[in-house]
Amino acid sequence: MVTITGINFKNPTMLASGIMGTTGASLLRIAECGAGGVVTKSIGPEPKAGHPNPSMIKLECGFLNAMGLPNPSYNEFDNEIKLARSGTDVPVIASIFGGNAEDFVKVAEGLADSEPAAFELNVSCPHAEGYGATIGTDTCMVESITAAVCDAVDVPVWVKLTPNVTDIKAIGKAAQDGGADAVVAINTLRGMAIDINSGYPILGNRFGGLSGSAVKPVAIKCVYDLYEALAIPVIGVGGVSTWEDAVEMMMAGASGVQIGSAVHESVDIFSDIASGIELFLQDKGYSAVEDIIGLSHKVI
């Protein structure tokens, strides 16, 4: 068991937002497959259709997606969180987004009755104009949005950061200054693919976010830097598909590890990674997961 921001998780793996988190039933399925925690799809103040198809393509190094934050709005989603919570003791974290502090507070307060274990603020989506990274690259907005949500709710607040900045530590510090209980790093990297026969971008939105194995080194470095710079926990996400990846992320400084694109291969990945971590700890003589968190900082 690991404890992050006062929440107990049976293991350090979590479902990342945007994958299998659109319904209470899908969240329950992932919980039953061994995830220590599950994060919902990002939910906003109004219904949003998202970008036109194609909205996701598979590449040789991962996935490129431009979903555009499709969601039914908080009014229609609170029952999905309640359904997920009623069927499992695995913590359910609500991912939320908005265009300003008022939007974020509106959604957080609207979902409060469904009693999520925490809120994850999506200020990092790279392909939704007016949302996500549009505001997540501005330290003042990140701090003010975080502070507003922290004042409005009585559960932990996590802030999901974008890697599409020159200094992620500054954004992390802004979240911390706003009262965040943890940061989540990273969201997807901006990317694009073009059909050489037509000359047109493949994605309906033209560009999107790259996820999968290709982004893991970027995520590791971001987690490493944030661990050094902040006094709050860092939750790592980006390119994790094996227990070795998870251990590496934790040695960089992650208290927990979220898994997204790799779920495409198997929903059993959470139990597989959790078991791998446990066997690694036993083999190396570590007594707990906490023994390896930030280990790379201690051996230099």
**Which residues are annotated as part of the binding site for substrate?**
41, 65-69, 122, 187-188
Residue of 125, 140, 150, 222 marked active site:
125
Assess whether 61 carries a catalytic annotation.
no
74-87 vs 101-111: helix axis angle to the nearest 10?
40
The binding site for FMN consists of 17, 41-42, 122, 160, 186, 212, 238-239, 260-261
The binding site consists of 17, 41-42, 65-69, 122, 160, 186-188, 212, 238-239, 260-261
CA dist 119 to 40, 70, 107, 218, Å?
10, 18, 10, 24
Burial of 140 (0-12, 13-18, 19+ CB in 10 A): exposed
Of 235, 230, 243, 252, nearest to 277 (Cα)?
243
Sequence-distant (6+) residues with CB within 8 A of 45 are 73, 74, 98, 103, 106, 107
CA dist 94 to 104, 125, 193, 194, 222, Å?
12, 15, 31, 34, 23
Instruction: Catalogue the active-site residues.
Output: 125
